[in-house]
Amino acid sequence: MLFNSYTFLFGFLPVVLIVFLALKLRSVRLALTWLILSSIVFYAWWRPWNLLIIGPSLGVNFLIGRALLAVHGDKSRATLARWLLGAGILFNVCLLGYFKYANFTRSVLNDVAGTEFVLHSIVLPLGISFITFQKIAFLIDVHGGRIKDFSFRDFCLFVLFFPQLIAGPIVHYREMMPQFHALPRRMDREALAVGLTLLALGLFKKVIFADGVAGHISPLYAGAAAGAEITLIWAWIAALGFTLQIYFDFSAYSDMAAGLARCIGPKLPMNFFSPLKATNIIDFWARWHITLTRFLTAYIYNPVTLWLTRRRAKSGKTLLNHRQPALIPFMKILAFPTLLTMYISGLWHGAAYLFVAWGLLHGLYLVVNHAWRLFAPRYLPKLTRSSGFHKSFGFLLTFVAVVVAMVLFKGPTPQAAGEVLRGLAGLNGLSLPGSVTDKLSSFGGLDIATDTSSARDLILAAAWVFGLSIIALLMPNSLQLLARYQPVLEDIETVGRADGLMGRFFRWQPSFIWSLVIACLVVMAIVNIGGPSEFLYWQF
């Protein structure tokens, strides 16, 4: 069931919310049980047979979690605890591996070995990548003693909570369950107002912005996939347009998820915070899909880097530091774990060569950023002084790097991505609609090829890209807008409150004017909801 569908907005959500709030007045436990049942219906709506996969997986993880809890603290059974944890992680990874990577592995094998193995088609269960990571984090937390006790009902609620079930944020049990347990019986009107506002903002961003720009750039990628040449200006419109589409799509999803959770009560962790405003690529990853970055850092990057750094320290060598930077340790203990983590990140997004290439390219960006931080102050001191110019240059470089990498993310085929990348580099030349080239030729001396598009297509696509860029780069984000009411777990006032003129004007409060503005946005979004338009991150 899509968040941006009439079924969800006018059927599922009102029923679930009204019954939940009514039940909560009598008993929070009863209301939470209602929430679990509603989440099961939400999950099963698209493909009921998905329950046959998530159900047993839920049971196995619960039993392993309980077993881990039983042996925790008993030093004589530490080895058994490690084996149990290993078995739990292996079970989850194998489940994900089968559904997500079996066909990809087969096609890689066929490509490498020239074989022609055939595997039946495997349909990816909804949200399995997110659910798997969440369950792995849960088992690690139980093993580490960070979860002291849990019931089957709590575990089901943690895994199935519908606002974040399909595409995250990837949450920790320890940050969610205390909130559910502390829910008051009375109705929290402020939380409901903040939640509905976030939901409205997200819906507007998805239906108007993300789906709006998609209509202008999808034909370009379809053309590239069919073998058409994408020339310079069209390639930049395609790359910028898709970056803005996925930006607003994921921003919208994150707002809607956080808003839905807040309507019920709990705050979700921050998942998206104006990543296109980042001034370096490390900063970008601290703002884009924040809970995935947090998971990959905690469970892949940190263990690998810790192991390598401890080994280095044990052998008596100095740690890599800014006063004595050295290339070999940089490659071994910084570049390698970074590339490995981003390779896994790429593969997690999708079982395809393009996602792997996208992940590795971002890994390379991060390595270059780390190298700059480590080596430049020593070897290029004049270039590393912090100034407005450096920040602006850093922002521009990061923006272009992200936009170029997004071409790989979009695909849809390596040939199409290659065609758009060639266009970005100017290798396919420059072309404009006939009516535009006619006007330009009257100025004389300009020799620009003519393409089959119309001037209206070009102006509309460019206007969408320009307008959305301005909104993404200059406006406060939804969380900043609602900062006063703390809509997520993190304190937005300290993370990055929107200052200046924009920040002063755009600060939501429960007033008549704001309710009018939000109502207008909702009406615009609802009348523009078209056919099914999935969030881009739902496919992962």
Partner 1 sequence: MNEERLLKLFSDILQRLLGDDSIRLHPDTVRADIDGWDSFNYVNFIVAIEQELCVRFQVADVESFKTVGDIADETLRLLED
> Residue 432: enclosing H or E segment and its boundaries?
strand 431-433
The Cα 272–Cα 258 span in angstroms is 11
Q: Is 444 left (phi over 0), alpha (psi -120 to 50) or beta?
A: left
Separation of alpha carbons 23 and 28, rounded Å: 7
3 state DSSP class of 200: helix
Which span sits near partner 1 by CB under 8 A: 52-60, 93-101, 142-150, 160-168? Answer: 142-150
Residue 398 touches partner 1, criterion: CB under 8 A: no
In terms of Cβ atoms closer than 10 Å to its own Cβ (0-12, 13-18, 19+), residue 491 is: exposed
Pick one of 24, 267, 287, 294: the residue that binds partner 1 (CB under 8 A): 294
User: Which of 29-37, 315-323, 428-436, 508-516 is the region at the interface with partner 1 (rule: CB under 8 A)?
Assistant: 315-323
Minimum CB distance to partner 1, residue 133 (Å): 14
Q: Does 306 bind partner 1 (CB under 8 A)?
A: yes
One residue of 219, 377, 434, 467 binding partner 1 per CB under 8 A: 377
DSSP assignment of 203-236 equals: HHIIIIIIHHHHHHHHHHHHHHHTT----HHHHH
Give phi and psi for 169, each to the nearest 5. Answer: -60, 155
Residue 141 touches partner 1, criterion: CB under 8 A: yes
497 counts as binding partner 1 under rule CB under 8 A: no
Q: Exposure string (b/e) for 63-93, b if CB count within 10 Å is 16 or more? A: ebbebbbebbeeeeeeeebeebbeebbebbe
- Binding string, 345-374, against partner 1, x = CB under 8 A? -------------------------x--x-
- 424, 72, 85: which is closest to 237 by C-alpha? 424
We find the least distance from the C-beta atom of residue 302 to partner 1, in angstroms, to be 5
Question: Distance (Å, rounded) from C-alpha 540 to C-alpha 23?
Answer: 34
Decide whether 12 or 138 has the Cβ nearer to partner 1: 138
The conformational region for residue 499 under phi > 0 = left, psi -120 to 50 = alpha, else beta, is: beta
Q: How far is the CB of 386 from partner 1 (least distance, A)?
A: 8
Whether 346 contacts 355, CB under 8 Å: yes
Indicate which single residue of 47, 146, 390, 456 sits in contact with partner 1 (rule: CB under 8 A).
146
User: Site for partner 1 (CB under 8 A): which residue of 305, 398, 477, 480?
Assistant: 305
* Helix H or strand E encompassing 496: helix 492-496
To partner 1, the closest distance from the beta carbon of 309 in angstroms equals 4
Determine which residue in the list 309, 345, 398, 453 makes contact with partner 1, applying CB under 8 A: 309
Nearer to partner 1, 239 or 296 (CB): 296
> Counting contacts by CB under 8 A, is residue 463 touching partner 1?
no
Q: Are strands 431-433 and 449-451 parallel, antiparallel or unpaired?
A: parallel
Report the SS3 class of residue 509: coil
DSSP label of 182: T
Contact flag: residue 291 with partner 1 (CB under 8 A): no
Least distance (Å) between residue 298 CB and partner 1: 4
Catalytic residue status for 349:
yes
Q: What is the dihedral of CA 162, 166, 169, 172, to 10 degrees?
A: 70
* Residue in 166, 320, 357, 416 binding partner 1, rule: CB under 8 A: 320
Assigned token pair, 71: 């042996």
Instruction: Please state the closest distance from residue 333 (CB atom) to partner 1, in A.
Output: 8
> Nearer to partner 1 by C-beta: 151 or 302?
302
Does the footprint of partner 1 cover residue 434 (CB under 8 A)?
no
Is 302 a binding residue for partner 1 by CB under 8 A? The answer is yes
Task: Pick one of 257, 334, 436, 488: the residue that binds partner 1 (CB under 8 A).
Answer: 334
Q: Does 82 bind partner 1 (CB under 8 A)?
A: no
Catalytic one among 349, 362, 370, 390? Answer: 349
Q: Which residues are catalytic?
A: 349
- Site of interaction with partner 1 (CB under 8 A): 140-141, 143-144, 146, 282, 294, 297-298, 301-303, 305-306, 309-310, 313, 319-323, 334, 338, 370, 373, 377, 495
